Structure 1
Amino acid sequence: MTHESLYEQQRSLLFGIAYRMTGSVMESEDILQEAFLKWHEVDLDSLESPAAFLKTIVSRLAIDHLRRDKSRQDYIGPWLPEPLADQEQELPCPAERTELYQSLSMAFMHLLEKLTPVERAVFVLREVFGFDHLEVSRIVEKSTSNCRQIERRARQALKLDRTRFEASNSQHQTLMSEFINAMASGDDAKLLSMLAEDAILYSDGGGKALAVIRPLYGASRILEFIKAVRRGLSPDSRIQIRQVNGEPAMLVVQGEEVSSCVHFAWNGDKLSNIYIMRNPDKLKGLLANG
């Protein structure tokens, strides 16, 4: 097989690793391009496992990228992952498809920002893609015992509770539709009843679009924000529900462009987190329907 055919066989998986590591579609594509160039320099006959080699290249490039990247430290307001429009993936079974989609959710991706580059690599490779400790240790160049410690540390840092990410898409969409209908009809009592008391709202404008530059805490403050947004919507604004990051998301469309992408995270039937993407640079991959 050629370099190109072997690479294309693994491309979907490689992009999945890079995106979960960086939270950026653009940066992931750059990493894959650099990996492809390095890959072309390798003698295929010298490799025991071409797939393992490719996964190692991409993982190490992603770690190096996160170590060098200072832009998030100087970012204006909260930094949120770039929304990823859903694409068909060739996964072996529905259960694995669900697992991988849950690991794309905005809530999960936002949590990953708490980790160091190596913690994030170990956690993503182990928890999301199911790599064994030996393979992970070779990729991150740590001992297997050290990788186990890093994985435990990452889980503790995230305080990971998988039940928070297990609501089905149909449940998620039903709750979101109720919330959107309450917003549209001005049913503020309904909105307040659906918001958890300790709910948090994050808004990412990147200094390029109007957004709240600090997280909003508490149901009452979030409700006031929603009321202000509702008053400020232009008459030509349209609401669309689309699958983004493996879950239903609300798109606000003005003209032919998506001006906002809103993700909701639920704890039971209560809305615990709202993530609003307003940065136009991160919305380029989302196209309005109709």
Structure 2
Amino acid sequence: MDQRTAAFQRHRSRLFSLAYRMLGSRADAEDVLQDAWLRWNESDTDSLRTPEAWLVTVTTRLALDRLRHAKVEREAYTGHWLPEPLVEPLDEDTPQDLLERADDISVALLRVLETLAPAERAAFVLRQAFDTDYAEIAALLGRNEAACRQLVHRATERVQEVRRQQPVDRGAHRRLLEAFAAAAAAGDLAGLRQLFADDVALVSDGGGRVSAFVHVLRGAQRLAQLYYATFRRAGDAVRYVPVRVNGGPGLARYFDGRLESVQAFDLDADGRIVAVYVQRNPDKLRAAAAALSQAG
């Protein structure tokens, strides 16, 4: 590996983390990194005092440009949009773990970030996830520091509610999902009902490629019956596997050995499920299926 490549690889994890938080898509983040690499490879890097700052600047601007185009495309998206999940075997450390174990890349948070204007999202990510000072943010966004502070303030207000909902005890989160997987696999309707908060909500993303619910499903009894109906329909053909989804415990659901969905869950303070995010879009499951297949 030559010196130029080694320097890029040294910062690659941080650059991917930045691009993914900006875009909510592994594929788009990888495309941004590829473009950043091409520009890095063509630049006069020998004269750079701070290669990391140069790479962060280029990656941010490329991600911003891609995000503006994605915003237009996602306005025409079929059904609910959920981020492309980062999925890993639950007990295996991978390079994606360098996303800081990811309290701030949860599916719930990324959904909120999707509602922000591109500049707001960039300012928030740079400040909150990477502790970038306001002078640097202003230079990156072409705005003054006061305007950038306001962008971060507005974005922070939008995400506070989501952050308050994030579970503190990951061990309890994992144990609850193991109990949920067991109840779903056994068709235990009462057991499923007890694990849901009364006002639980389920959001699914099929992307127009596969079936998904047009509306958000709400209510513990309704969701318990949904998973029970899946058991009655599929029986032993359905299998739930605990995995890590965006840094936290989640489930991969298989039908006849094929990855059908990746599911992320939010818990309340009482340790009950308050939200379920079901990613069914095959385009957004391709990388997850490959990663889990390689892990065996």
User: So what's the TM-score if we normalise by structure 2?
Assistant: 0.88
> What amino acid is aligned across from residue 11 of structure 2 in structure 1?
Q
Shift of 1:272: 1.0
CA contact (8 A) 1:100 1:128 kept: no
Q: Which residue of 2 aligns with 1:264?
A: 265
CA contact (8 A) 2:101 2:248 kept: no
Q: Which residue of 2 aligns with 1:102?
A: 103
CA contact (8 A) 1:72 1:79 kept: yes
2:94 to 88, 94, 98: 88
> What amino acid is aligned across from residue 183 of structure 2 in structure 1?
A
CA contact (8 A) 2:112 2:158 kept: no
CA contact (8 A) 1:35 1:54 kept: yes
**How far apart, CA to CA, are the structure 1 residues paired with 2:183 and 2:214?**
26
1:285 to 264, 268, 287: 287
- Deviation digits for residues 162-216 of structure 1, max 9, x if unmatched? 3422423211111111222222333323322322222210111111122212211
**How far apart, CA to CA, are the structure 1 residues paired with 2:173 and 2:136?**
35
Shift of 1:139: 1.7
Q: Which residue of 1 aligns with 2:212?
A: 211
Is 1:182 aligned to 2:171, yes or no? no
* 1:1-290 matched pairs, under 5 angstroms: 2-69=3-70, 70-86=72-88, 88-89=94-95, 99-160=100-161, 162-233=163-234, 235-268=236-269, 269-286=271-288, 287-288=292-293, 290=296
Identity %: 36
Say if 1:186 and 1:236 are closer, same or farther in 2 by CA, change over 3 A. Answer: closer
**Please, which moves more after superposition, 2-11 or 54-63?**
2-11
**How far apart, CA to CA, are the structure 2 residues paired with 1:208 and 1:191?**
28
RMSD after superposition: 2.2
**How far apart, CA to CA, are the structure 1 residues paired with 2:109 and 2:6?**
32
**How far apart, CA to CA, are the structure 2 residues paired with 1:238 and 1:164?**
28
**How far apart, CA to CA, are the structure 1 residues paired with 2:11 and 2:210?**
36
**How far apart, CA to CA, are the structure 1 residues paired with 2:73 and 2:86?**
20
SS of 2:105's equivalent in the other structure is: coil
CA contact (8 A) 2:16 2:30 kept: yes
Shift of 1:256: 4.4
> What amino acid is aligned across from residue 131 of structure 2 in structure 1?
G
Shift of 1:8: 0.9
**How far apart, CA to CA, are the structure 1 residues paired with 2:233 and 2:205?**
18
Q: Which residue of 2 aligns with 1:94?
A: none
SS of 1:284's equivalent in the other structure is: helix
SS of 1:67's equivalent in the other structure is: helix
Shift of 1:90: 9.0
**How far apart, CA to CA, are the structure 2 residues paired with 1:199 and 1:237?**
23
> What amino acid is aligned across from residue 81 of structure 2 in structure 1?
W
**How far apart, CA to CA, are the structure 2 residues paired with 1:191 and 1:35?**
46
**How far apart, CA to CA, are the structure 1 residues paired with 2:99 and 2:172?**
14
Say if 1:90 and 1:65 are closer, same or farther in 2 by CA, change over 3 A. Answer: closer
Shift of 1:155: 1.3
SS of 1:262's equivalent in the other structure is: strand
- Deviation digits for residues 38-88 of structure 1, max 9, x if unmatched? 122221244331110100111111111111122211111111111112453
> What amino acid is aligned across from residue 88 of structure 1 in structure 2?
T
- Deviation digits for residues 106-129 of structure 1, max 9, x if unmatched? 222222212111111111111112
**Please, which moves more after superposition, 201-210 or 133-142?**
133-142
> What amino acid is aligned across from residue 227 of structure 2 in structure 1?
I
Structure with a larger share of its residues in helix = 2
Say if 1:65 and 1:143 are closer, same or farther in 2 by CA, change over 3 A. Answer: same
User: So what's the TM-score if we normalise by structure 1?
Assistant: 0.90
- Deviation digits for residues 225-278 of structure 1, max 9, x if unmatched? 223322232533322111221112111123443111111111121211100111
Gaps of 5+ in 1: 92-96
> What amino acid is aligned across from residue 158 of structure 1 in structure 2?
V
SS of 1:159's equivalent in the other structure is: helix
Say if 1:205 and 1:232 are closer, same or farther in 2 by CA, change over 3 A. Answer: farther
Gaps of 5+ in 2: none
SS of 2:21's equivalent in the other structure is: helix
**How far apart, CA to CA, are the structure 2 residues paired with 1:226 and 1:23?**
27
Say if 1:90 and 1:99 are closer, same or farther in 2 by CA, change over 3 A. Answer: closer
CA contact (8 A) 1:114 1:158 kept: no
